[in-house]
């Protein structure tokens, strides 16, 4: 069970956890552990029955920003999902307050934990209380905007000979390549690219599963209009529906005939571990 409380309510239990983890276990001086931000923060407390086993806090800052910190879980309860539950509760609480970005000072050993929840590193490693740290940030779009918008400038594809089979119809496998080009173009229009996602953010977006439907044949010289929307978004994957429509009268985007569609389940994967990781919220900011 996770409770969100004021410092007045949480002080006794939260400090007991922080004392065991930071002061006794990690050697942080007590005068650095308690600070002037505790009374201003909201605190998350994790309970196992009546025992408090973990804590964290959210400090509101200027410009719709917040800072997460003092994340601590008792040794016997680490790697059991307690830290994840605390962090997710703090993130959701930040959303409810209208906070649009979160920062934190992560111990270097904890960086992979925060990256799984969409945080990304900023700047160099520095020392804080004798422990190597690095700054991290998470952008939070408004709750009603956590959707992938349709392509700002629609992706258009002119059918040529290489797209067609012997009968002059678009070969069914070509739609997969056309859809992939459309997704790549969406990234470019948002100042992203597959290479940038790998090199700067350490993520891949492979297709895990797809289903396709064919309604009408595409033909040589057709102008295809490709659209895409998010059907569902989970923590580590999204379901994207892409549609290929024939533009019956060129220049009139309202005069379209759907000829094929695909529903793709795309997973966010860490480039180092090749394991699923949380999809960054900033990927969905329009």
pLDDT in tens, 201-249: 889 999 998 888 888 999 999 989 898 888 778 888 888 889 999 877 6
Q: Please list the ranges in the chain whose pLDDT falls under 70.
A: 141-154, 249-255, 284-286
Looking at residue 150, its pLDDT comes to 41
**Rg of the chain's alpha carbons, rounded to an integer?**
24
Residues 128 and 186 in one domain: no
Instruction: Give the count of beta carbons closer than 10 Å to the beta carbon of residue 199.
Output: 10
Domain boundary among 120, 140, 160: 140
Looking at residue 232, its pLDDT comes to 79
Contacts (Cβ under 8 Å, ≥6 apart) of 178: 157, 163, 224, 226, 244
Domain boundary among 124, 140, 156: 140
Looking at residue 132, its pLDDT comes to 92
Residues 7 and 116 in one domain: yes
Q: Torsion-angle region of residue 32: left (phi > 0), alpha (psi -120 to 50) or beta?
A: alpha
Q: For tokens 């993520």, what's the residue?
A: 203
Looking at residue 96, its pLDDT comes to 78
Sheet hosting strand 237-247, strand order edge to edge? 155-158, 223-233, 237-247, 256-267, 207-214
**Residue 35 belongs to what domain range?**
2-140
Residues 121 and 21 in one domain: yes
Would you call 193 helix, strand, or coil by DSSP? coil
Judge contact between 264 and 242, C-beta under 8 A.
Answer: yes
Domain count along the chain: 2
Residues 117 and 231 in one domain: no
Looking at residue 252, its pLDDT comes to 47
Looking at residue 54, its pLDDT comes to 93
């Amino acid at each position: 069970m996770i409770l969100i409380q004021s410092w007045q309510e949480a002080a006794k239990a939260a400090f007991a956890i922080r004392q065991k983890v930071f002061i006794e276990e990690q050697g942080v001086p007590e005068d650095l552990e308690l600070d002037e931000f505790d009374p201003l923060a909201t605190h998350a407390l994790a309970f196992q029955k009546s025992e408090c086993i973990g804590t964290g806090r959210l400090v509101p800052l200027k410009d719709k920003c917040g800072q997460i910190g003092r994340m601590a879980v008792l040794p016997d309860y680490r790697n059991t999902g307690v830290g994840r539950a605390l962090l997710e509760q703090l993130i959701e609480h930040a959303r409810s307050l209208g906070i649009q970005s979160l920062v934190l000072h992560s111990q270097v050993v904890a960086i992979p934990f925060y990256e799984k929840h969409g945080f990304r590193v900023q700047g160099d490693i520095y020392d804080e209380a004798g422990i190597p740290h690095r700054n991290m940030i998470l952008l939070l779009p408004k709750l009603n905007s956590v959707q992938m918008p349709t392509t700002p400038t629609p992706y258009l594809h002119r059918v040529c000979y290489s797209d067609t089979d012997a009968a002059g119809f678009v070969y069914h496998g070509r739609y997969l390549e056309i859809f992939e080009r459309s997704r790549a173009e969406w990234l470019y229009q948002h100042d992203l690219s597959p290479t940038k996602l790998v090199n700067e953010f350490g993520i891949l977006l492979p297709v895990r599963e797809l289903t396709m439907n064919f309604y009408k044949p595409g033909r040589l010289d057709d102008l295809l209009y490709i659209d895409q929307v998010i059907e569902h978004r989970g923590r580590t994957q999204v379901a994207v529906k892409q549609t290929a429509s024939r533009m019956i009268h060129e220049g009139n985007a309202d005069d379209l005939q759907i000829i094929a569609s695909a529903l793709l389940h795309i997973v966010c994967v860490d480039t180092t571990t090749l394991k699923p990781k949380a999809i960054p919220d900033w990927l969905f900011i329009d």
